[in-house]
Amino acid sequence: MHRLWVLGVFIFLYLPLVVVIVYSFNDSRLNAEWVGFTLGWYRVLFRDDEMLKAAGNSLAVAFASSLIATVLGTLAGIAIQRYRLKFLNFLVMAPVAMPEVLAGVSLLLFFIQLMDMDLGMLTVVLAHVAFSVGFVAVVVRVSVASLDRSLFDAARDLGASPLAVFRHVTLPLVMPGIIAGFLMAFTLSIDDFVITFFTAGVGFQTLPLRIYSMIKISVTPEVNAVSTLLMILTLVLTLVAMRLAPEAIKGEA
């Protein structure tokens, strides 16, 4: 009985994904019945300039925003843990818990009305930094927390300046956490729709935005193909991040 329940839950979770993957190889325009195997939709996909451009934009935004978020989140995570900065913790974590629609609207207002900026890649990158800093900070904070505090004292004691302690002790020990944080930020960025929708403006399109505009007409097998690829990328990044993060928590001690 229990097993049936578990099976049911897994079917509910994964069947839609499996359908998307299977139909991306279906030799038919319609997602109705299985006709035969083809890689044709992937060929179509890689000839679709609009789609490729959107994918390029997504990767660029993801790289830029997760890089910035990783630097800021790492510093915040270390500072929160080492100096017990409760308020900074709150400031960094609040956007994580904020409903995305709310974050999207307030970022839009911030960019247009307060900063008088043109919407485009820059605003999307900044918006993505804002919501992913918190995630990086949490992962880094946990991996700092797992370290014996006397390691930092020992390094000072043995002649390392605060900067040298950071470079030779803190950074290498927290590195798995930092990489995990980076991959998380990357994953969050590359498939974000809501906040991107509000902050992208008219001329700029990312992959999720492109997919959304295509399914307004119909869910074509090309959408299935691009979704499959996005799914694989996300899955790989998440798996790598999960492998790294527990390591950081164990602290190798």
Nearer to other proteins, 49 or 252 (CB): 252
Which CB, 27 or 148, lies closer to other proteins? 148
Write the secondary structure of the chain as one string of H (helix), E (strand) and C (coil): CHHHHHHHHHHHHHHHHHHHHHHHCECCCCCCCCCCECCHHHHHHHHCHHHHHHHHHHHHHHHHHHHHHHHHHHHHHHHHHHHCCHHHHHHHHHHHHCCHHHHHHHHHHHHHHHCCCCCCHHHHHHHHHHHHHHHHHHHHHHHHHCCCCHHHHHHHHCCCCHHHHHHHHHHHHHHHHHHHHHHHHHHHHHCCCHHHHHHCCCCCCCHHHHHHHHHCCCCCHHHHHHHHHHHHHHHHHHHHHHHHHHHHHHCCC
By beta-carbon proximity to other proteins, the closer residue of 225 and 248 is 248
Q: Which is nearer to other proteins, 81 or 227 (CB)?
A: 81
Nearer to other proteins, 13 or 158 (CB): 158
Minimum CB separation of residue 141 from other proteins in Å reads 19
Closest contact distance (angstroms) between CB of 163 and other proteins is 10
Q: Which residues bind other proteins (CB under 8 A)?
A: 148, 150-151, 153-161, 164, 168-169, 172-173, 251-253
Query: Nearest approach, Cβ of 70 to other proteins (angstroms)?
Result: 20
Q: Which is nearer to other proteins, 176 or 221 (CB)?
A: 176
Q: CB 81 → other proteins: shortest distance, Å? A: 17
Min dist. Cβ of residue 8 to other proteins (A) = 43
Cα–Cα distance measured from residue 68 to residue 185, given in angstroms and rounded to the nearest whole number: 10
Shortest spacing between CB 175 and other proteins, in angstroms: 9
